[in-house]
């Protein structure tokens, strides 16, 4: 059968620059490559700096999860220097992480991924009275009247009639792969707008504990938040009450809007269960109840599940040089021994571009084709992220996760196997917000009772002075970021950073193939996807977006001339 190669570059509604090339036979994808087309050189900039400053640089890797890179960085330095943190600091960090997860997941679902499932233009055909009836049947959320949905519909109408779709431009409206009736599409658009309002409230929690948002403040040895319930200008009862009110709002939004929406939408797509990909899942684990050095206390468990086999969970050791390694066979980097993998402590970031000269038509998968390296666990490619965390927790018998998964699948009348799909990935991310808001409530309660018991410590200064440090030390810091397992590895020599390597979630997921020709998670997940219209590869975007890509990036400039948009081109 004749094959053709389609190119999506850049993939839009993600963080950073990603290119996907897919080989199509008839209406099915038979091969795919994923290429990170921007170079991330953070490691180079950190050499020889004070390790206590590294977080402030690391958090600028990305503009979306400004929390997680800072957290992984301070944890790496604390691990290297064997610094323990006070109980309040651990709780506040957990609150920051859960807040990040919730905000990021909701923004991803409504503002980055939603329009892969929701057809905005179709919403114009909806009967607002029916939308209202549907809304009331799935939730007690108060914004559900006919007049409310009519108003939303008029807003969209005005935008479409103006011919300036703006944020709604460049999509495949009317594509046959959209399955929702107009009334549900209208509901989706209404909640898209509401989510915009709500997401700016939840991040106020970051501003309370981190002093500001975006890019809150952190410190090695604890958190930079002084606590005094009865004082001004510090974390006091008024500030803590604000946090509590934001947690309550988040819980209501998640339970009355986000979860009912995802279940309603998934119901219309439940027969489309492709996109599972490699089915190897990894979680470093996070949310320690005691200390990050005690994985048994993690409320998001650690482990690896291979080939979708839930009967066995493998241990993960981030310090074992044989377990996590990065390969560069198909990347634009240079190693002394190009075929060997390097553990991040001994990792190298030496760019060596040998790709085609831009502008080019196709990349060559037999050579280097990405700025992303190929990380492997025990030589195997892994998927990381909400689905991976859910699969590992489910396999480990985590009761809360099992309940969340089982009850959602029961409502959808789907088997457990259905999780291993594009839809399953999106479902897991939504359900994870419920898990995290429950954690938020718990950590908040623990924090209040600890403070009321008289413990206001948030910082351990015992090893703040570099004179207390060993001449040489190495550490690893990790967390479960919204997009998956994030690790920072640091080597410290004479008080300065001697080597620094970050292996970010998207490096795992967007990884190019390796010397053994094992595909990365994106690549494998696209294969076998049927396309309703190969000229408009909506189904590919849906699967790629289901991973919530973040091609760790970070520059933005205003451009006065180019009203040319970042178009999704399919050749």
Partner 1 sequence: MSNVKVLGVGNLIRQDEGLGIHLLQALQNKLPPVTPSGLELLDGGTGGLVLLDYVESADKLLILDAVAAGRKPGEIVIWQEEEIPYFIASKMTAHQVGLAEVLHWAKFRGKYPQEIVVVGIQPKCLDWGTELSEEVRNSLPAALEEVLNILKKWGVKL
Selected from 6, 7, 8, 17, the binder of partner 1 by CB under 8 A is 17
Residue 560 binds partner 1, judged by CB under 8 A? yes
Q: Could you tell me how many residues of this chain bind partner 1 (CB under 8 A)?
A: 48
Residue 215 binds partner 1, judged by CB under 8 A? yes
Question: Residue 418 or residue 502: which is nearer to partner 1 going by CB?
Answer: 502
Q: Are 83 and 432 in contact (CB under 8 A)?
A: no
Selected from 41, 142, 338, 356, the binder of partner 1 by CB under 8 A is 41
* Buried residues in 128-152 as b, exposed as e (16+ CB within 10 A): bebbbebbeebbebebbeeebbbeb
Nearest in space to 419 (alpha carbons), one of 561, 546, 285: 546
Q: Are 83 and 220 in contact (CB under 8 A)?
A: yes
Q: Which of the ranges 193-201, 247-255, 378-386, 464-472 carries the binding residues for partner 1, by CB under 8 A? A: 193-201
Residue 196 binds partner 1, judged by CB under 8 A? yes
Residue 557 binds partner 1, judged by CB under 8 A? yes
Residue 561 binds partner 1, judged by CB under 8 A? yes
Show the DSSP H helices in 108-145 as ranges: 128-138
Shortest distance (Å) from residue 217 CB to partner 1: 11
Q: Which of the ranges 198-206, 232-240, 332-340, 396-404 carries the binding residues for partner 1, by CB under 8 A? A: 198-206
Quick one: how far is CA 213 from the chain centroid? 18
Residue 118 binds partner 1, judged by CB under 8 A? no
Residue 107 binds partner 1, judged by CB under 8 A? yes
Q: Which of the ranges 34-42, 179-187, 266-274, 306-314 carries the binding residues for partner 1, by CB under 8 A? A: 34-42
Residue 3 binds partner 1, judged by CB under 8 A? no
Q: Are 138 and 264 in contact (CB under 8 A)?
A: yes
Residue 90 binds partner 1, judged by CB under 8 A? no
Question: Residue 63 or residue 308: which is nearer to partner 1 going by CB?
Answer: 63
Nearest in space to 203 (alpha carbons), one of 360, 112, 96: 96
Q: What is the 3-state secondary structure (H, E, C) of 362-392?
A: CCCCCCCCECCCEEEECCECCECCHHHHHHH
Residue 544 binds partner 1, judged by CB under 8 A? no
- Taking the C-alpha atoms of residue 226 and residue 206, their distance in angstroms, rounded to an integer, is 14
Dump strand ranges (E) for 328-453: 374-377
Q: Are 333 and 369 in contact (CB under 8 A)?
A: no
Query: Strand, helix or coil at 492?
Result: strand
- Taking the C-alpha atoms of residue 267 and residue 411, their distance in angstroms, rounded to an integer, is 9
Burial zone of 474 (CB within 10 Å; 0-12 exposed, 13-18 middle, 19+ buried): middle
x/- binding map, residues 127-166, to partner 1, per CB under 8 A?
A: ----------------------------x---x------x
Selected from 60, 179, 251, 442, the binder of partner 1 by CB under 8 A is 60
Selected from 28, 30, 63, 295, the binder of partner 1 by CB under 8 A is 63
* Residue ranges that bind partner 1, judged by CB under 8 A: 12-17, 38, 41-42, 44-45, 57, 60, 62-64, 66, 107, 111-112, 155, 159, 166-167, 193, 196, 199-200, 203, 212-215, 551, 553-566
């Amino acid at each position: 059968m004749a094959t053709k190669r389609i190119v999506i570059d850049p993939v839009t509604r993600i963080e950073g620059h990603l290119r996907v090339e897919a080989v199509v036979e008839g209406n099915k994808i038979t091969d795919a490559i994923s290429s990170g087309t921007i170079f991330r050189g953070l490691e180079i900039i950190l050499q020889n700096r004070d390790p206590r400053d590294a977080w402030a640089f690391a958090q600028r890797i990305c503009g979306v999860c400004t929390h997680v890179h800072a957290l992984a960085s301070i944890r790496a330095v604390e691990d290297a220097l064997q610094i323990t943190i006070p109980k309040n600091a651990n709780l506040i960090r957990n609150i920051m992480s859960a807040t990040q997860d919730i905000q990021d997941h909701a923004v991803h679902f409504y503002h980055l991924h939603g329009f892969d499932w929701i057809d905005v233009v179709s919403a114009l055909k909806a009967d607002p009275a029916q939308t209202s009836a549907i809304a009331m049947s799935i939730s007690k959320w108060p914004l559900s009247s006919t007049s409310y949905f009519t108003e939303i519909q008029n807003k969209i109408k005005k935008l479409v009639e103006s011919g300036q779709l703006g944020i709604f431009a460049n999509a495949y409206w009317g594509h046959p792969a959209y399955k929702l009736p107009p009334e549900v599409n209208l509901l989706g658009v209404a909640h898209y707008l509401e989510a915009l309002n709500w997401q700016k409230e939840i991040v106020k929690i970051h501003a309370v504990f981190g002093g500001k948002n975006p890019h809150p403040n952190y410190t090695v040895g604890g958190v930079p938040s002084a606590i005094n319930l009865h004082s001004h200008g510090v974390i006091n009862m008024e500030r803590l009450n604000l946090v509590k009110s934001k947690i309550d709002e988040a819980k209501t939004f998640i339970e009355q809007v986000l979860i009912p929406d995802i279940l309603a939408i998934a119901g219309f797509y439940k027969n489309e269960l492709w996109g599972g990909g490699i089915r190897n899942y990894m979680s470093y684990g996070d949310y320690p109840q005691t200390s990050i050095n005690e994985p048994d206390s993690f409320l998001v468990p650690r482990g690896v599940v291979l080939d979708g086999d839930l009967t066995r969970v493998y241990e993960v050791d981030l310090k074992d040089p044989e377990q996590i390694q990065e390969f560069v066979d198909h990347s634009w980097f240079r190693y002394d021994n190009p075929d060997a993998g390097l553990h991040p402590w001994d990792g190298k970031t030496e760019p060596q571009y040998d790709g085609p000269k831009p502008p080019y038509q196709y990349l060559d998968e037999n050579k280097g084709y990405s700025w992303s390296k190929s990380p492997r666990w025990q030589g195997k490619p892994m998927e990381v992220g909400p689905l991976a965390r859910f699969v590992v927790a489910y396999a480990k018998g985590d009761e809360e996760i099992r309940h969340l998964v089982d009850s959602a699948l029961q409502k959808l009348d789907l088997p457990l196997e259905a999780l291993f799909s594009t839809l399953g990935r999106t479902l897991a991310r939504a359900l994870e917000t419920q898990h995290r808001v429950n954690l938020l409530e718990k950590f908040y309660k623990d924090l209040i009772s600890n403070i009321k018991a008289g413990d206001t410590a948030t910082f351990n200064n015992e090893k703040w002075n570099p004179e207390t440090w060993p001449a040489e030390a190495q550490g690893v810091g990790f967390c479960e970021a919204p997009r998956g397992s994030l690790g920072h590895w640091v080597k410290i020599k004479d008080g300065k950073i001697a080597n620094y390597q970050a292996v970010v979630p998207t490096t795992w997921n967007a990884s190019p193939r390796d010397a053994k020709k094992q595909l990365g998670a994106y690549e494998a997940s696209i294969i076998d996807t049927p396309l309703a219209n190969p000229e408009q590869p909506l189904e590919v975007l849906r699967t790629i977006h289901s991973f919530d890509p973040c091609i760790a990036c970070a520059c933005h400039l205003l451009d006065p001339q180019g009203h040319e948009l970042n178009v999704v081109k399919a050749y």
